[in-house]
Amino acid sequence: MKRKIPVTILSLIMGLSIAACGKQETTTGNESITATVESTQAETTETSEANTETTESVETTENTEEVEETIEATDITKGEPLSEKDLAFSFLGYNTYNEYVEAGNDGGAYIVADNAAMILSGEFTDDGDVLESTVRGIKLGDSIDKVFELYGNTEEHSADIKNEFSHDGLKDSGAYNYFLKLDSTKEYFYAFRFRVDQNNNIIAVVIEPIPMEYWS
C-alpha cells in the first residue's frame, strides 16, 4: 500500500501537467486565431480605404476635365451678340481682321465654295481672303438654325439674290445680317452676312466693313 501512494500521486501530477499544457496550447491557439482575424480585418480596412481614395481621385479628375471642357466651349456664349472676338481670325498678314481694317483696309472676308461663280470669275476674291469657318464655327452647308443658335435671332433679313454665290444646283436666296460697331474702328462698322440657299443652308458668308455713314 505504501508503494502505490507515490504512483498515484505521480499519476495525478502528470495528469495535472498534461491538462495545464492542453490549456496553454488552447490559449495559444486562440491568441493566434485572434491575431489572424485582427490582421485580416486591418488589411480589409486598408484595401477599402485605398479603393475609396482611388475612386475619389478618378471622380475628381473627371469632374475637372468636364469643367475645363465647359469653360473652353463657352468662350463665346451661345446667342451672345457679336463682339471683337468674332474678328479674331488672321487675315492677309494681320493677326486679326480688326487689325486689318484699322490699318486702313476695307476688303471683305468670305466663306464660299471653291466652285462658286464668284471664285471662277475672280470678281470679289483674291488669294487669302477666303475662310473655312467663322470664329464660332459656322461653315458652308450648316443650317441657318445653327446660326440663330450661336448668334441669336436677327430681324435683318434681306431677300436680295446674289447669283455669284450659286454652285452645284444651290441657288442664293437671301441673307441674314448681323452688325457690330467698335470704338477702335471709328470710320467703319462690321457686317456679318449669312447667305442661304433654297434649303435654308449656308451657301456663303461675307464679313465686311461698312462706312459709318450707313449706320442706323
pLDDT tens string 76-108: 777 889 999 999 999 999 999 999 999 999 999
Which pLDDT tens digit goes with each residue over 142-165? 999 999 999 999 999 988 888 888
**pTM recorded for the entire structure:** 0.63
Three-state secondary structure string covering 93-145: CECCHHHHHHCCCCCCEEEECCCCHHHHHCCCCCCCCECCCCCCCCCCCCEHH
Per-chain mean pLDDT for the chain? 75
Which pLDDT tens digit goes with each residue over 25-61? 444 444 444 444 455 454 544 544 545 454 444 444 4
The percent of residues above 90 in pLDDT, for the chain, comes to: 45
Whether the pLDDT of residue 193 is over 80: the answer is: yes
